[in-house]
């Protein structure tokens, strides 16, 4: 009879294995710390450069702390109507595009997860083809033009509304999370497909919804190429396109932000401040959301990426 109350001594691992484990852990910590520094320091540098004297930044005097503290760049940004309007446009485009994308992906993923959907395999196959073949920029522009969406908000939110890869993640999520027995039980109780989706499947997909919202929030907020192609009216430009125009300007002395300065040297100085400050302002809203959504983001990514 095996004595379960007094188990024998545990077998100790060989010394060489313990040493190799410690070496691996230390190497992992060093590599991950270096990766964190490589990612975080550029962001930190932009923040301190946005409140530092541009001359000190150009001379290499700014490394870990701001030098010649100034907030003139931020003052000029928030007093410029173009940037404020661009910020409002970005909020509008991002909100509408994210809401449409999440609604289409979550509902489409659930539909594709249902084995009784007619033509399920064919639809999935046609969607997967688009991951490998794309018509290109010119056909896409012609389609948007023929639909009459040029220079409208719909050109910003509809062409990229459904990401096929995200749709496949949503399908896998529902296949793993929503068992067929649950749907059968709901059907016995008289629940229709729509009622089951909205009252049962959707509440269980909170992590998926947050994951899709986070992905599309970041993508839509940072997008400027569609605006560059489809928008002609400068009053409709999103913040990222306004930022792009600021960053690529070689002569800032003629711009709205520095046009009131007397000398070219002053315009160049303020222009550098504005560049850094605009990057901070355009990035801050997304960074501020990450801590609140991180838990759901990680959970949704893991559940949607693994299929049992």
Region 60-64: mean pLDDT is 81
Q: Is 28 a residue whose pLDDT tops 80? A: yes
User: In this structure, are 281 and 196 located in the same domain?
Assistant: yes
Give CB contacts under 8 A, 24+ apart, made by 69-76. Answer: 70/273, 72/270, 72/273, 73/270, 73/273, 73/274, 73/276, 73/277, 73/278, 74/50, 74/277, 74/281, 76/257, 76/258, 76/270, 76/273, 76/274, 76/277
Q: Is 91 a residue whose pLDDT tops 50? A: yes
Q: Which of 80-94, 237-251, 278-292 has the lowest mean pLDDT?
A: 237-251
User: In this structure, are 20 and 106 located in the same domain?
Assistant: no
Q: How much of the chain, in percent, has pLDDT values that exceed 90?
A: 19
List the domain range (segments joined by +) for residue 28.
16-49
Would you say residue 63 lies in a domain?
Answer: no
Average pLDDT value over all residues in the chain? 81
Count of structural domains within the chain = 2
252 band by pLDDT with thresholds 50, 70 and 90: very low
Would you say residue 9 lies in a domain?
Answer: no
Would you tell me how many other CB atoms lie within 10 Å of the CB of residue 184?
10
pLDDT at 105: 93
Q: Which of 71-80, 108-117, 217-226 has the lowest mean pLDDT?
A: 71-80
User: In this structure, are 36 and 137 located in the same domain?
Assistant: no
Highest-confidence segment of 220-234, 261-275, 294-308: 220-234
Region 219-231: mean pLDDT is 89
pLDDT at 297: 61
Would you say residue 67 lies in a domain?
Answer: no
**CA–CA dist 301, 210 (Å, integer):** 10
**CA–CA dist 24, 20 (Å, integer):** 6
For 202, the token pair is: 């959707």
Q: Cα-flanking dihedrals φ and ψ of residue 249, to 5°?
A: -70, 130
Q: How many residues would you count in the chain? A: 308
User: In this structure, are 117 and 189 located in the same domain?
Assistant: yes
User: In this structure, are 134 and 28 located in the same domain?
Assistant: no
Q: Which of 93, 106, 307, 291 is nearest to 213 (CA)?
A: 106
User: In this structure, are 165 and 286 located in the same domain?
Assistant: yes
DSSP 24-85: HHHHHHHHHHHHHHHHHHHHHHHHHHTTS-HHHHHTT--SSS-SS---HHHHHHHT-HHHHH
Would you say residue 116 lies in a domain?
Answer: yes
User: In this structure, are 32 and 175 located in the same domain?
Assistant: no
**Element housing 267 (H / E):** helix 264-305
The contacts of residue 254 (CB under 8 Å, 6+ apart) are: none
Q: Is 68 a residue whose pLDDT tops 90? A: no
**CA–CA dist 233, 230 (Å, integer):** 10
pLDDT at 15: 57
258 band by pLDDT with thresholds 50, 70 and 90: low
Region 117-139: mean pLDDT is 87
Region 110-114: mean pLDDT is 90
User: In this structure, are 31 and 110 located in the same domain?
Assistant: no
**CA–CA dist 308, 293 (Å, integer):** 26
User: In this structure, are 254 and 295 located in the same domain?
Assistant: yes
DSSP, collapsed to helix, strand or coil, labels residue 116 as: coil
pLDDT at 1: 46
User: In this structure, are 22 and 109 located in the same domain?
Assistant: no
301 band by pLDDT with thresholds 50, 70 and 90: low
User: In this structure, are 45 and 83 located in the same domain?
Assistant: no
For 295, the token pair is: 């838990």
Would you say residue 106 lies in a domain?
Answer: yes
For residues 238 and 227, the answer to whether their CB atoms sit within 8 Å is yes
Buried b (16+ CB within 10 A) or exposed e, 67-102: beebeebbebbeebebbebbbebbeebbebbbebbb
Would you say residue 158 lies in a domain?
Answer: yes
User: In this structure, are 227 and 86 located in the same domain?
Assistant: yes
- Here the CATH number for the domain that contains residue 100 is 1.10.3720.10
pLDDT at 263: 57
Would you say residue 6 lies in a domain?
Answer: no
Q: At what angle do helices 239-248 and 81-113 cross, to 10 degrees?
A: 130
Q: Is 93 a residue whose pLDDT tops 90? A: yes
Give CB contacts under 8 A, 24+ apart, made by 247-252. Answer: 247/275, 247/278
Would you say residue 247 lies in a domain?
Answer: yes
pLDDT at 250: 44
Render pLDDT for 212-224 as a digit per residue (tens, 0 to 9).
888 888 889 888 8
Q: Is 296 a residue whose pLDDT tops 80? A: no
67 band by pLDDT with thresholds 50, 70 and 90: confident
Would you tell me how many other CB atoms lie within 10 Å of the CB of residue 249?
15
């Amino acid at each position: 009879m095996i004595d379960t109350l007094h188990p024998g001594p545990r077998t100790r691992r060989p010394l060489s294995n313990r040493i190799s484990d410690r070496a691996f852990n230390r190497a992992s910590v060093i590599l991950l710390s270096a990766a964190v520094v490589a990612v975080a320091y550029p962001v930190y540098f932009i923040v301190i450069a946005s409140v530092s004297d541009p001359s000190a930044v150009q001379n290499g005097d700014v490394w870990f702390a701001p030098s010649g503290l100034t907030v003139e760049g931020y003052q000029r940004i928030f007093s410029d109507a173009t940037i404020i309007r661009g910020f409002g446009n970005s909020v509008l485009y991002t909100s509408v595009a994210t809401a449409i994308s999440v609604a289409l992906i979550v509902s489409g993923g659930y539909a594709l997860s249902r084995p009784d959907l007619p033509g399920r395999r064919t639809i999935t196959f046609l969607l997967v083809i688009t991951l490998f073949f794309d018509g290109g920029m010119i056909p896409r522009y012609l389609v948007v033009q023929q639909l009459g969406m040029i220079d409208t908000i719909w050109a910003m939110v509809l062409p990229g509304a459904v990401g096929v890869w995200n749709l496949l993640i949503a399908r896998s999520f529902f296949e793993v999370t929503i068992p067929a027995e649950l749907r059968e039980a709901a059907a016995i109780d008289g629940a229709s497909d729509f009622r089951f989706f909205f009252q049962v499947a959707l509440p269980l997909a909170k992590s998926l919804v947050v994951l899709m919202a986070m992905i599309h929030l970041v993508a839509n907020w940072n997008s400027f190429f569609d605006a560059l192609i489809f928008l002609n009216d400068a009053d409709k430009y999103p913040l990222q396109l306004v930022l792009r125009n600021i960053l690529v300007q070689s002569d800032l002395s003629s711009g709205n932000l520095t046009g009131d300065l007397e000398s070219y040297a002053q315009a160049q100085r303020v222009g550098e401040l504005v560049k850094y400050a605009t990057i901070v302002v355009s990035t801050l809203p997304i960074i501020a959301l990450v801590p609140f959504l991180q838990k759901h983001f990680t959970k949704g990514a893991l559940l949607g990426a693994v299929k049992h």
